[in-house]
Amino acid sequence: MQYTANSLENHWMPFTSNKEFKASPRLIVKGEGVYFTDPMGGTVIDGSSGLFCCPLGHGRKDIADAVHEQLLENSYASPFMTSTPGAFELAQKVSRLLPEPMNHVFFTNSGSESIDTSLKMVMAYHRARGDGQRTRFVSRERGYHGVNIGGVSLSGMVKNRETFSSVMPNVVAMRHTWDPENAFTRGLPEKGVELANDLQRFCEMYGASTIAAVYVEPIAGSTGVLLPPKGYLKRLREICDETGILLVFDEVICGFGRTGSAFASQEFDVIPDVITMAKALTNGAQPMGAVAVRDEIYDTINDAAPENAIEFFHGYTYSGHPAACAAGIAVMNAFDAEDSFKQAADMSEYFLDGLFSLQDLDCIKDIRGYGMLGAVELKAKGNPGALGTQTQKDLFWSGLHVKFTGDTGCVAPQFIAEKSHIDEIIDKLRKTLEAI
């Protein structure tokens, strides 16, 4: 495909230093398998699955063909009061992967939209039960829940909040789960289950009957792969069961096999009330997200509405878009045909062996990892995040894409990666980090 733009000025880029990028652009013109190609024909191995979106690899003909065929057949129909068959088929396929009793799926267009949708679902559920006084939400420091107003209100990362002060009221944050004593822990830390009792303290301080839901990422991904201590998620579940608070898992990053199970809730044996998802749902081929809920939440909201009335006054113009559904169906079929989640589980040990082999480097503060998701945290130099930003750029020019948040690189190879690809990722990481 040829492009005719001769200026970079008109595109306002997201989460990017626009002036710096346009002075030294890092353009990607092609993706195939585990590699990107730059405009000069150089290859860049993708060490973060795009943005955790592409576990099946880039340039999948089966997904592209499914989208193409759907666009030719029906490119759009209103999701309000009408629908298309693909939305129901995809919802069924996703439901089969979810833990019981989560059998109802609402489609959005991103992880951010999934979070804001779930907030409305939580409010609607409590109102339908006569618990409308539950207006407070609990999240977590260093949590990331997207960029819409609801998600920013829940987020615990300063750069996502400090510019936007007009957010939802009545949101309080538990402590994050990173502890320097757990540095270089492979898998779940032994220490820290007591941090879950922050939720109990909020119940005692504000009254449990005022709290609607607690939001956590099972593994806090965007902030730098913060793992839950052993027993932490189960303790949150216990408190929620005792108090009527809903437990929401943000699985936008963990969902669809990243931990070795379909969802982290299954991997850690903790079933939430609500799961948000996106990213790998379509392998990044089409924008799409979703929210799954327990049957009781769906039934309560629907049963509270008058006959033939709209039960949940919410949706998006592109909810369940036909092309996105076609991509999602193709991805679900590929996950099944290629046994992708087992593929990820089987490669996890080799990946983590490679990642933890870097701990001898003086520039590294911590290494963490679980499944096919890991982090290399650097010792800060200068302003927080400055070293990480420069390292991400240096890695790109060395032929490796790794997503950095602050001074932490998040490494998340595709499930299709072979041992030689893992070796290449680790080798390029080592060579670049040795130069720091």
Rg (CA), the chain: 21
pLDDT at residue 167 in the model: 86
Q: Which CATH number fits domain 64-337: 3.40.640.10, 3.30.499.10, 3.40.50.720, 3.40.50.1820?
A: 3.40.640.10
Distance CA 435, CA 378 (A): 13
Top-confidence residue, 243 or 163: 243
Go through 187-223 and write b for each residue having 16 or more CB atoms within 10 A of its CB, e for each that does not.
ebbeebbebbebbbebbeeeebeebbbbbbbbbbbbb
292 beta partners: 105, 275
45 beta partners: 35, 400
Architecture field, domain 18-56+339-434: Alpha-Beta Complex (3.90)
pLDDT at residue 163 in the model: 83
Q: What is the mean pLDDT of the chain?
A: 97
Cα distances (Å, whole numbers) of residue 218 to 199, 248, 252, 263, 293: 15, 10, 10, 10, 16
pLDDT at residue 2 in the model: 67
**Model pLDDT for residues 227-240, shown as the tens digit of each residue:** 999 999 999 999 99
Distance CA 40, CA 53 (A): 25
Across the beta sheet with 408-411, the strand order is 364-370, 373-378, 408-411, 403-405
**Model pLDDT for residues 385-432, shown as the tens digit of each residue:** 999 999 999 999 999 999 999 999 999 999 999 999 999 999 999 999
Distance CA 406, CA 398 (A): 20
**Model pLDDT for residues 117-168, shown as the tens digit of each residue:** 999 999 999 999 999 999 999 999 999 999 999 999 999 998 888 888 878 9
pLDDT at residue 158 in the model: 85
Distance CA 279, CA 290 (A): 10
Q: Does the pLDDT of residue 435 top 90, yes or no?
A: yes
Confidence label for 3 from pLDDT (cuts 50, 70 and 90): low
**Model pLDDT for residues 364-382, shown as the tens digit of each residue:** 999 999 999 999 999 999 9
88 beta partners: none
**Model pLDDT for residues 198-233, shown as the tens digit of each residue:** 999 999 999 999 999 999 999 999 999 999 999 999
Average of per-residue pLDDT across 331-339: 98
pLDDT at residue 381 in the model: 94
pLDDT at residue 159 in the model: 81
Under 8 Å between Cβ of 284 and 78: no
pLDDT at residue 62 in the model: 98
Cα distances (Å, whole numbers) of residue 169 to 14, 135, 275, 388: 26, 9, 23, 32
Domain boundaries, the chain: 18-56+339-434, 64-337
Query: Poorest-confidence range of 61-70, 163-172, 275-284?
Result: 163-172
Q: Does the pLDDT of residue 6 top 80, yes or no?
A: no
Count the residues in the chain: 436
Q: Does the pLDDT of residue 5 top 80, yes or no?
A: no
